[in-house]
Amino acid sequence: MRPRREDDPVDRPRKVLCVVGARPNFMKMAPILEAMRPYGDTLRPVLVHTGQHYDAAMSDVFFDDLDIPAPDRFLSVGSGSHAEQTGRTMMAFERCVAEEAPDLVVVVGDVNSTLACALVAAKAQVPLAHVEAGLRSRDPSMPEETNRRVADLLSDLLFTHCREADENLLGEGIDPSRILFAGNVMIDSVLRWRSRARAPRGFAGAGLPEGGYGLVTLHRPALVDDPSKLVPFVGTLVGLSREVPFLYPVHPRTLGKMREFGLVPEGFEADLSPLPGSRLHLCPPLRYLEFLWVMDRARLVVTDSGGIQEETSALGVPCLTARDNTERGVTLTEGTARLVGTDPAALPRAVAETLSRPRPGPRLPERWDGRAARRIAALLDAWARGEPDLGAVLQRLVTPAATRAAPAPGPTAPGHRPSRPEAPA
């Protein structure tokens, strides 16, 4: 850990820049911000939205659904190539760091904002924490693999969500004292908001029976930008939809590619309508609570997303991962996911085998218990107070007595400051 200045008073709250940039970050940061509220005497979170992905459908509605406060800083980075986006984020975040003078930067996940803000923090000699550290696909062609590897290398605190991630970091020579197995913050959000999830408008009349449809999410450029891959994949889904209907919430960019490749007829509206001659229904991107609802009620999910592999495991929904590798191996060994590859010819057999078996129950690996964010907040509080051994703090937090004393946080009334948790720290 980069040392605190000798003249730095220990009795002031530590300013913590909490960075989000894209849709997957929001459900990871939301429970952390909530869990930090009781630590106002030691931690002062400042929410920074880089604007890496920004429109009302992909950003604002997630803040509303997850009760995330409005960002304190919005950097308006926008889209672009990986280099353009990373460079613009670094320039904007460097100015933010200079103006805010933070004591700690917290990044989550593996998007370009994660990499850019980690680099800025390291160059500015600001301590850095990475939530969801240690994930490895070992596929150098994935931009996310570069992002997460560099962020881990630069981070002072590495909050992991599974034992496999710990082993990956140790195998790369990371100091064990920097590795803190806190649990899965994305599952915190799933468990908290599952009971409040709601159906998308118009779903009841769309011909998608609860428990009897498949859910599709395909968004990676390696798949959707290549007509030799996307065209046969969509064709396979159209064929499979004769046996089981599918819902595909499609990103506007992907829908544009589908139009370009002749997969969507002129004038077709992605409003839960099926493609002509099929039961493959398309709709716009869904709000978080809507997507959680349709995922929870799906018979199976076909996805190339990382986080959805974890969410389906927690919900007990079979997940067919349309990738040749995954950084989330725990979903294969302890969850409900199965790698089916990117060749659509393998999909019909995988779907048939899945439909032949009952839907599994929820599968929650170690510390996917809805309390990960509380552990992270308690560890950040211990760091702010100068505790020398955060590993020992974590061990106290995961004892049965501490777990019983730490109920999951709920919504806080306006103007009410929560009391400090009684879990040992």
Helix (H, G, I), strand (E, B) or coil at 217: strand
> Stretch 222-235: mean pLDDT, rounded?
93
Distance CA 115, CA 117 (A): 6
Phi, psi of 226, deg, nearest 5: -110, 110
Least confident of 140-154, 156-170, 387-401: 387-401
**pLDDT confidence of 57, banded at 50, 70, 90?**
low
Q: What SS3 state is found at 370?
A: coil
Contact 323, 272 (CB under 8 A): no
**CA 289/CA 195 separation, integer angstroms:** 10
| Residue recorded with tokens 């926008």 | 78
Model confidence at 422: pLDDT above 70: no
Tokens of 177: 């004292």
Residue 152 confidence (pLDDT): 98
Give the per-residue pLDDT at 80.
87
Task: Give me the sign of the Cα torsion angle 328, 329, 334, 338.
Answer: positive
Q: How many CB atoms lie within 10 A of CB 286?
A: 19
Q: What is the pLDDT of residues 275-321, one digit of tens each?
A: 999 999 999 999 999 999 999 999 999 999 999 999 999 999 999 99
Those residues with Cβ within 8 angstroms of residue 176's Cβ, 6 or more apart along the chain or in another chain? 170, 391
- β 14-20/104-108 pair status: parallel
Q: Which of 71-85, 92-106, 341-355, 400-414 has the lowest mean pLDDT?
A: 400-414
CA distance 247 to 270: 11
Question: Given this model, what pLDDT does residue 273 score?
Answer: 96
pLDDT digits over 74-94, tens only?
998 888 899 999 999 999 999
pLDDT band for position 10 (cuts 50, 70, 90): low
Q: Identify the pLDDT of residue 1.
A: 57
Tokens of 172: 């790369």
Distance CA 216, CA 383 (A): 41
**Cβ neighbours of residue 273 closer than 8 Å, sequence gap 6 or more:** 281, 282
Share of the chain above pLDDT 90, in %: 83
Q: Is 49 a catalytic residue?
A: no
Q: Which residues contact residue 25 at a Cβ distance below 8 angstroms, ignoring those fewer than 6 apart?
A: 19, 108, 109, 111, 113, 114
Share of residues in the chain with pLDDT > 70 (%):
90
Question: In this predicted structure, which of 206-215, 276-285, 355-364, 393-402 has the lowest mean pLDDT?
Answer: 393-402
Which residue among the candidates 49, 82, 161, 219 is catalytic per the annotation? 219
Per DSSP, helices labelled H in 263-364 are 288-296, 306-315, 330-333, 347-355
Is residue 270 within 8 Å of residue 284, measured between CB atoms?
yes
Assess contact for 299 and 213: CB atoms under 8 A: yes
As a CATH number, domain 14-184+368-404 is 3.40.50.2000
The answer to whether the beta carbons of residues 270 and 312 sit under 8 Å apart is: no
Q: What pLDDT is stored for residue 8 in this prediction? A: 61
Q: Determine phi and psi for 92, rounding to 5 degrees.
A: -70, -40
Average pLDDT over residues 182-204: 97
Inform me whether the pLDDT recorded for 3 exceeds 60.
no
Residue with the bigger pLDDT between 209 and 252: it is 209
Tracing tokens 């308006």 back to the chain, one arrives at: 76
In CATH, 202-355 is 2.130.10.10: no
Q: Is the separation of the CB atoms in 79 and 111 below 8 Å?
A: no
Which band of pLDDT confidence, cut at 50, 70 and 90, is reported for residue 9? Answer: low
For residue 52, give the nearest of 77, 17, 26, 87 by alpha carbon. 77
* More reliable by pLDDT, 7 or 171: 171
With beta carbons less than 8 A apart as the criterion, state whether 109 and 132 touch.
yes
* Residue in this structure with the two tokens 């997460």, named with its chain if needed: 148
Rounded Cα gap, residues 16 and 36, in angstroms: 10
CA distance 182 to 320: 27
- What does the chain come to in residues? 425
Domains 14-184+368-404 and 202-355 share a fold: yes
pLDDT confidence band for 399 (50 / 70 / 90)? confident
The domain locations on the chain are 14-184+368-404, 202-355
Between CA 305 and CA 309 the distance in angstroms is 7
Cβ neighbours of 311 (radius 10 Å)? 26
CB atoms under 10 Å from CB of 94, counted, come to 17
pTM for this one?
0.91
Is residue 319 within 8 Å of residue 313, measured between CB atoms? yes
CA distance 4 to 126: 10
Residue 71, pLDDT > 80, answer: yes
Tokens for 119, please give them. Answer: 């680099």
